């Protein structure tokens, strides 16, 4: 079953398309990370998926075919928006009461136990909690609804490292215990590899990469070798080139079984390096083939960049500090 | 650690029953109790004052009316005392004009505007209850509650103003029920205007999406509507009656008076001034025509002019109340429906 | 953090986020290392998947992948409803063999030093050769061009 399925989905605000031609099939039972620079369309895509926005083009269904925003979708999907909106004047207990009244399913005991473990007092007003506690509260409310899909929009952006860790631990244990599928957006690439097993990369409103993390990592490598020979690989699916005077690194679409040319070395790629490389090459894409539904498969060669020139470091506005360019 | 129960998820294809409406009762109460408390305080505070002051007014007027003979000095003093009560009551009437607007704006506008402004709609509209049902379940009960409270309050107002409106003691500037400043405090009008203000507030909140601007816009729109109704619309609910001279009955709402020449054309004030200049002892000519001066009127009639008074009789008070209440109710329903429709349609 | 319970595992996992080694592999290596050092013995239970997820905040599929790998290697066996348990030890290398290997290694180090490699260069060379060896073992043996003319080899 596909937990989120979009078909040519697009959203326009005024004359600007925030999202275009987005076709995804995110399988259930995964923790999917939605990644991209600011303005790439992550929040737009999530808003469409939870029914807060209506598409300008195409459609989106969740939980195996229910239209986004329909009663069945609202029942089975729990959303925590950016900045974790809560009613500041309501106490924590009131927020529990509120969520219980607004949904069919609500596990009051679970919520109270969780909040007790987190040390969040029931009587305190939600506005008086710390940022981390508010995020934990919003997450607890969402999980207590026993959703099948949990959607999180930049959940940890405002949190300190410990709060971040505790937050993700809560999300992931829910995934283990209840089989909740998770879709979370982030622009903190560094932690993704630990957490995500499905990746969707958005850039400028379009999907650049979509697939299982294991498949993506298995189908890409970095080839390191003499810069002079780098041009030889123009026809091969090269995603990104970083080159120095004598040495160059090519991030290519190739598996472990593909032959490595002489004088070249092959290294496996990490998720962060892969994501950054694609973000730097807007023309490149790694998308599943046109057959949906079913789990996404890394497809055949898709338009890659033409002969890459010298290392271009287009600064895309990633909020967190990207690692500075180091010629390895 | 804890045994977490895995619920039975509904099978695909079976229709999901909606979460029951009554669940929203606590939600609406909890989220709007401050605003409702404010409205209750306003009405309650005014009610206490009106009750205490009204008791005094009724005592004064009962004494004045019961006094015999009416022309004696002692009775005249009592009458004067009673008439004196009108001053503060008149001021109160002016102040009360604002009450429906305030209640409607401060209770109605934040319902949707605050959700949009603080972003909590991203929480509220992704819960299982569903966004348009959530909106309806908030707006309708609040509207009904406010209208009921306003209705009860205006019963108190009717009691408070009854001595002045009864017409037992004549005094200059005495009000009639159809007067602009009285009509909307009595009968069903007060409740209807409160309901309309609330509906305007709700829609303004959804259109403007910020609380303070929405409140301001609500007050402005309400003021415009109230003025339009009082100055233009209300006169025409039924065709006004005409009578010669100034013989409109005491409780009538006089709309206009116009002198006509023999041929039936209306006569301007300048012409009348010219005519009156021939009789300077009547005081006309300079500074305008004295109104309601029988000797002036008699003089002009003798010279062939006819005075026609356009008015609405006091007996039409209740028909007018139903008409005004009716269109305000329809408008309120329309505005609330529009707000709900916007909620359904709105993109994040 | 889970407190001490009757069925707690003898070991606890840690994660080195900056090491560049994939998470699941770190878990596998930690189990093997614990086996080697005696922290784990056959019959011991590995930490429950849920507890690992809760304490490290990692994807559950990662833990499952690591445990599957250990099972494929024959080191562990899963008991349904109970958990994953150690069932074998790592093959021990006999002591004389170990001594011989160590001696050969020292010889290699001496030769590398003579050729002009400093310590970092030796480590880099060894690591890259180890990786190639590992990959060659996984796939069919391909003729791979000579291990690096390694003057400017970077290590990824």
What DSSP string describes B44-77? HHHHHHHHHHHHHHHHHHHHHHH-SSTTSHHHHH
> Average pLDDT, whole number, for chain A?
83
Chains adjacent to A (≥3 CB pairs closer than 8 angstroms): B, C
User: Which of A9-18, A244-253, C66-75 is predicted least confidently?
Assistant: A244-253
Is there a contact between A201 and A275 (Cβ–Cβ < 8 Å)? yes
Q: Rounded to whole angstroms, how far apart are CA atoms A132 and A276?
A: 28
What is the tens place of the pLDDT at every residue in A258-286?
777 778 888 888 888 888 899 888 888 88
Q: Rounded to whole angstroms, how far apart are CA atoms A155 and B180?
A: 57
- Determine whether the interchain pair A85/B120 forms a contact, defined as Cβ–Cβ distance below 8 Å: yes
Q: Which residues does A290 contact at the CB level (< 8 Å), separation at least 6?
A: none
Q: Rounded to whole angstroms, how far apart are CA atoms C136 and C123?
A: 20
If one counts every other C-beta atom within 10 angstroms of the C-beta of residue B310, the result is: 18
Q: Who among A71, A90, A110 is closest to B4 (CB)?
A: A110
Contacts of C145 in chain A (CB under 8 A): 260-264
What proportion of chain A, given as a percentage, has pLDDT over 90? 48
Phi, psi (degrees; rounded to nearest 5) at C19: -75, -20
Chosen for mutation from A74, A155, A181 (greatest number of chain B CBs closer than 10 Å) is A74
Contacts of C20 in chain A (CB under 8 A): 270
If one counts every other C-beta atom within 10 angstroms of the C-beta of residue B130, the result is: 22
Is there a contact between A170 and A140 (Cβ–Cβ < 8 Å)? yes
> What is the pLDDT averaged over residues A135-157?
93
> Helices B86-96 and B73-84: crossing angle, nearest 10°?
20
Q: A152: burial class by Cβ within 10 Å (0-12, 13-18, 19+)?
A: buried
Contacts of C140 in chain A (CB under 8 A): 257
Give contacts of A 185-224 with C, CB under 8 A: 190-191, 193-197, 214, 217, 222, 224
> Average pLDDT, whole number, for chain C?
80
In the predicted structure, residue A314 carries a pLDDT above the cut 60? no
Among chain A residues, the shortest Cα distance to B125 is held by A52
- Determine whether the interchain pair B122/A85 forms a contact, defined as Cβ–Cβ distance below 8 Å: yes
Residues of chain B short of pLDDT 50, as ranges, are: 1-8, 10-13, 285, 348
In the predicted structure, residue C141 carries a pLDDT above the cut 80? no
Q: Give the residue among A202, A322, A215 at the shortest CA–CA distance from A273.
A: A322
What is the tens place of the pLDDT at every residue in B300-327?
778 888 888 888 888 889 999 999 999 9
Is there a contact between B39 and B100 (Cβ–Cβ < 8 Å)? no
- Tokens read off for A73: 């979708």
Q: Rounded to whole angstroms, how far apart are CA atoms A284 and A240?
A: 9
**Minimal Cα–Cα distance from A267 to chain C, Å?**
7
Contacts of C142 in chain A (CB under 8 A): 259-260
Contacts of C16 in chain A (CB under 8 A): none
**Minimal Cα–Cα distance from B106 to chain A, Å?**
17
Is there a contact between A51 and A66 (Cβ–Cβ < 8 Å)? no
- Determine whether the interchain pair B6/A145 forms a contact, defined as Cβ–Cβ distance below 8 Å: no
Is A101's Cβ below 8 Å from some Cβ in B? yes
Chains adjacent to B (≥3 CB pairs closer than 8 angstroms): A
Contacts of C131 in chain A (CB under 8 A): 267
- Determine whether the interchain pair A270/C20 forms a contact, defined as Cβ–Cβ distance below 8 Å: yes
Is A297's Cβ below 8 Å from some Cβ in B? no
Contact pairs from chain A to chain B, CB under 8 Å: 105
Contacts of B12 in chain A (CB under 8 A): 63-66
- How far is the CA of A4 from the CAs of A63, A151, C116, in angstroms? 6, 10, 57
> Which H helix or E strand runs over B229?
none
Q: Are strands A31-35 and A57-62 parallel, antiparallel or unpaired?
A: unpaired
Is C23's Cβ below 8 Å from some Cβ in A? yes
Is A258's Cβ below 8 Å from some Cβ in C? no
The per-residue pLDDT for A106 is: 93
Is there a contact between A282 and A19 (Cβ–Cβ < 8 Å)? no
**Minimal Cα–Cα distance from C138 to chain A, Å?**
9
- Tokens read off for A3: 């937990």
User: What is the residue-wise DSSP string for C81-121?
Assistant: TTEEEE---PPPPPHHHHHHHHHHHHHHHHHHHHHT--HHH
Q: Who among C49, C57, C139 is closest to A168 (CB)?
A: C57
User: Which of A111-125, A302-316, B144-158, C76-90 is predicted least confidently?
Assistant: A302-316
Among chain B residues, the shortest Cα distance to A55 is held by B347
Contacts of B27 in chain A (CB under 8 A): 98, 101-102
The per-residue pLDDT for B273 is: 76
Q: A47-51, A68-72, B254-258 — which one is most confidently predicted on average?
A: A47-51
The per-residue pLDDT for A210 is: 93
Q: Which residues does B32 contact at the CB level (< 8 Å), separation at least 6?
A: B107, B110, B111, B138, B142
CA torsion, points B193, B195, B196, B198, in degrees to nearest 10? 120
Is A76's Cβ below 8 Å from some Cβ in B? yes
**Minimal Cα–Cα distance from C94 to chain A, Å?**
33
HSE value, Cβ hemisphere, 13 Å, CA-based, for C14: 5
pLDDT category, C95, cuts 50, 70, 90?
low
In the predicted structure, residue A239 carries a pLDDT above the cut 60? yes
Q: pTM for this structure?
A: 0.81
Is C146's Cβ below 8 Å from some Cβ in A? yes
């Amino acid at each position: 079953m596909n937990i989120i399925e979009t078909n040519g989905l697009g959203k326009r605000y005024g004359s600007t398309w925030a999202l275009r031609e987005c076709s995804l099939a995110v399988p259930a039972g995964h923790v999917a990370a939605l990644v991209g620079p600011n303005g790439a369309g992550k929040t737009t895509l999530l808003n469409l998926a939870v029914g807060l926005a209506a598409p300008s083009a195409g459609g989106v269904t969740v939980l195996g075919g229910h239209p986004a925003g329909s009663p069945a979708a609202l029942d089975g999907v729990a959303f925590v928006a950016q900045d974790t909106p809560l009613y500041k004047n309501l106490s924590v207990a009131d927020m529990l009461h509120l969520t219980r009244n607004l949904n069919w399913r609500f596990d009051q005991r679970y919520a109270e136990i969780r909040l007790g473990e987190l040390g969040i007092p029931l009587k305190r007003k939600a506005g008086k909690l710390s940022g981390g506690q508010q995020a934990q509260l919003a997450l607890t409310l969402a999980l207590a609804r026993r959703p099948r899909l949990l959607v999180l929009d930049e959940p940890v952006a405002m949190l300190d490292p410990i709060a971040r860790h505790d937050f993700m631990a809560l999300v992931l244990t829910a995934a283990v215990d209840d089989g909740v599928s998770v879709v979370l957006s982030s622009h903190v690439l560094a932690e993704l590899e630990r957490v995500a097993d499905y990746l969707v990369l958005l850039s400028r409103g379009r999907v650049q990469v979509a697939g299982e993390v294991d498949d993506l990592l298995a189908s890409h490598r970095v080839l390191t070798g003499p810069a002079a020979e780098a041009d030889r690989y123009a026809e091969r699916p090269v995603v990104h080139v970083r080159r120095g005077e004598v040495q160059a690194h090519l991030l290519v679409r190739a598996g472990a079984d593909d032959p490595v040319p002489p004088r070249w070395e092959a290294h496996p790629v990490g998720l962060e390096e892969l994501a950054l490389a694609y973000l730097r090459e807007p023309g490149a894409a790694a998308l599943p083939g046109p057959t949906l539904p079913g789990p996404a498969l890394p497809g055949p060669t898709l338009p890659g960049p033409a002969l890459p020139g010298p290392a271009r470091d287009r600064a895309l506005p990633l909020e967190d500090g990207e690692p500075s360019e180091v010629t390895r | 650690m804890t045994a977490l129960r895995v619920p039975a998820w509904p099978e695909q294809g079976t229709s999901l029953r909606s979460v029951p409406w009554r669940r929203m009762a606590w939600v609406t109460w909890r989220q709007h109790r401050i605003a409702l408390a404010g409205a209750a305080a306003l009405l309650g505070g005014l009610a206490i004052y009106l009750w205490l002051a009204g008791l005094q007014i009724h005592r004064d007027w009962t004494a004045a009316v019961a006094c015999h003979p009416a022309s004696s000095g002692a009775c005249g003093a009592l009458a004067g005392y009673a008439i004196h009560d009108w001053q503060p009551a008149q001021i109160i009437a002016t102040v009360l004009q604002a009450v429906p607007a305030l209640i409607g704006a401060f209770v109605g506008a934040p319902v949707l505007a605050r959700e949009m402004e603080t972003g909590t709609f991203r929480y509220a509209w992704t819960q299982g209850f569903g966004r348009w049902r959530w909106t309806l379940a908030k707006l309708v009960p609040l509207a009904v509650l406010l209208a009921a409270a306003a209705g009860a309050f205006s019963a108190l107002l009717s009691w408070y103003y009854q001595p002045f409106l009864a017409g037992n003691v004549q005094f200059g500037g005495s009000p009639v029920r159809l007067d602009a400043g009285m009509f909307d405090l009595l009968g069903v009008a007060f409740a209807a205007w409160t309901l309309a203000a609330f509906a305007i507030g709700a829609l303004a909140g959804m259109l403007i999406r910020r609380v303070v601007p929405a409140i301001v816009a609500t007050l402005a729109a309400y003021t415009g509507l109230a003025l339009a109704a009082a100055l233009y619309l209300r006169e025409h609910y039924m065709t006004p009656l005409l009578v010669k001279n100034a013989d409109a009955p005491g409780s009538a709402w006089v709309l206009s008076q116009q002198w006509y020449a023999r041929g039936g054309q209306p006569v301007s004030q300048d012409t009348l001034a010219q005519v009156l200049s021939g009789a300077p002892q009547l005081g006309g000519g300079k500074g305008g025509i004295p109104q309601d001066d029988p000797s002036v009127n008699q003089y002009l009639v003798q010279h062939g002019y006819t005075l026609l008074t356009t008015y609405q009789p006091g007996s039409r008070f209740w028909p007018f109340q139903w008409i005004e209440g009716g269109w305000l109710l329809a408008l309120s329903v329309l505005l609330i429906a529009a707000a709900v429709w916007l909620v359904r349609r709105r993109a994040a | 953090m889970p407190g001490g319970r009757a069925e707690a595992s003898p070991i606890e996992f840690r994660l080195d986020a900056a090491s560049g080694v994939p998470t699941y592999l770190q878990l596998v290596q930690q189990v093997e290392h614990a086996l080697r050092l005696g922290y784990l013995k056959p019959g011991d239970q590995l930490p429950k998947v849920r507890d690992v997820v809760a304490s490290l905040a990692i994807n559950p599929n990662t833990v499952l992948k690591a445990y599957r790998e250990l099972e494929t290697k024959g080191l562990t066996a899963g008991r349904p409803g109970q958990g994953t348990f150690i069932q074998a030890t790592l093959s021990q290398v006999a002591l004389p063999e170990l001594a011989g290997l160590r001696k050969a290694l020292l010889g290699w180090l001496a030769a590398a030093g003579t050729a002009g490699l400093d310590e970092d260069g030796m480590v880099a060379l060894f690591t890259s050769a180890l990786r190639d060896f590992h990959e060659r073992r996984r796939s069919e043996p391909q003729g791979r061009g000579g291990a690096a003319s390694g003057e400017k080899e970077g290590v990824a």
